[in-house]
Amino acid sequence: MRQVAQYILLPLSMLTLLLLASCQKEEKFDTDPELKLEFSTDTVFFDTVFTTIGSSSRVFMIYNPSKEKVNVSSIKLAGGNSSPFRINLDGIPGTEINDFEIAGKDSVFVFVKVTIDPTNLNNPYIQKDSLVFSINGNQQDVKLVAWGQDAHFYRNGIIGSDYTFTADKPHVIYGFLAVDSLYTLTIEAGCRIYLHSGAILLVYTDATLKVNGTKENPVIFKGDRMEPYYRDLPGQWGRIWLYAGSINNEINYAIIRNGEVGIHADTTGNSVNPTLRISNSLIYNMSNTGLLGQGTHIEAANCVIGNCGNRSLAFVLGGKYDLRHCTIGNYWNRSFRRQTALVLNNYYFDITNQLQLRPLEMAYFGNCVIYGERPEEITIDQHSSGGILNYKFENCLLKTELNISDTEKFPGSLKNENPWFRDPQLAEYQPDTTLSAVINKGSLEVMNTGFFNLTIDLSGNSRILDGTPDLGAYEFQPAEERRR
């Protein structure tokens, strides 16, 4: 009987173990739709600058904040197989990984690799993608950013010494680039400056910007996207910001286009010179304002400022301004434009909503054209309580409903006569026919008293061959002269 009992006990003990094992609870998944993964970074940057085809790798971490494990249903590159990026997660490579489990309160390394051909001119200067995570019905992403061509790159940088942009390679700004106080950024002729979405070139208090373009080799500021769709798309980057107190800024032969605000000049600095002298330059196709002056001192000559989503030119919060042989136009056709091509103003309301008057000492326009497709393209916004707002339009062609009979304010000026621009929709503001009202309507005295030699127009043509200058930035050229 004892032997039989032993044989019976053995199967019973094994059965007990099996029953105990079957009673153990399976590890549960956290299926809360509000659950969010956590990441060691929101953006993975590859700031290696390649000169030949090459690869670079970066790593970041995913954290599961839950006590229970989670199932990440999908981890994939938004760009799919066409993306220059690749991922490797726990030894699994590819562009998409499905049903990946992460234990409770655990973390995983994600390795990201990018391969770049910097000599491929079809590449954007900045390659972007995102790694998309799907969990419990919601999505999160981590941005991926890599330099895409051979260039000088600046990301959230501060220039702490005198510095020069050379024309050997393009210069690409991501985030911001600030010129610190007491230093000068000099930009050589022929430089191309590409700014990423929202990017700003900031010139700080007591700092200086010198742009030394030439007619043959202008300096170009534009967005960093190379695809044809972006060629004429406004709002692609932020602004050139001459911050409050910046001094002695000079821009000559620059083309500034496709941003939000072309140049933003903020209050005068500790210098006897104007905050900004700008000449022989084009600012156009900005989503907001071409040239914005706020209580500052600007001199401009031989410039075209046109086709902006809000105002082409705004001198507000007072200041002092002198413009000669400039064409201010606005034929914006991408959306409804709320303001006129030119706005002058002498006040603002502070953060406590208290009125602050700021004297506009002088806004002088000589031999200029201010025009657009609207009946009124000039706003003179003097506060009802008064304050100083002095302006003068001397020998100008104006699109306005203002009464210009006051010879103190509008000496020699014309109203609503057709300038016959070549193609104003494309910011081509050259007079294109002998019917143009701008021909030979300028003043030699206005031309000769500017801050530099104005006998040559923006295109390099003489203003004095026929004895009298035309209005605006361009001298009329007969068709046979243009063909030569």
Domain spans of the chain, in order of start: 38-147, 152-483
Task: Quickly name the fold that domain 152-483 has.
Answer: Pectate Lyase C-like (2.160.20)
Q: CB of 228 within 8 A of CB of 253?
A: no
- Can you name the residues that pair with 293 across neighbouring β-strands? 265, 315
Rounded CA-CA distance 277/298 in Å is 6
Rounded Cα distance between 112 and 137, Å, is 24
State the pLDDT at residue 131: 97
The CA angle 155-158-160, to the nearest 5 degrees, is 145
CA distance 281 to 251: 8
Two tokens, residue 300 = 């401009």
The values of phi and psi at residue 241, to 5°, are -115, 110
Tell me how far CA of residue 52 lies from CA of 47, 154, 171, 439, in angstroms: 15, 20, 18, 53
Helix (H, G, I), strand (E, B) or coil at 227: coil
pLDDT tens digits in sequence order for the chain, 484 residues long: 444 444 444 455 555 545 555 555 566 899 999 999 999 999 999 988 777 888 889 999 999 999 999 999 999 999 999 999 999 998 889 899 999 999 999 999 999 999 998 888 878 899 999 999 999 999 999 999 999 888 999 999 999 999 999 999 999 999 999 999 999 999 999 999 999 999 999 999 999 999 999 999 999 999 998 888 999 999 999 999 999 999 999 999 999 999 999 999 999 888 899 999 999 999 999 999 999 999 999 999 999 999 999 999 999 999 999 999 999 999 999 999 999 999 999 999 999 999 999 999 999 999 999 999 999 999 999 999 989 999 999 999 999 999 999 999 999 999 999 999 999 999 999 999 999 999 999 999 999 999 999 999 999 999 999 999 999 999 999 876 655 5
155 closest CA partner among 170, 171, 169, 175? 175
Q: Give the architecture-level CATH label for domain 38-147.
A: Sandwich (2.60)
Query: What gap in Å lies between CA 484 and CA 482, rounded to an integer?
Result: 6
- pLDDT score at 1: 42
Query: What DSSP string describes 355-367?
Result: EEE--EEEEEEES
99 exposure class (CB count in 10 Å sphere: 0-12, 13-18, 19+)? exposed
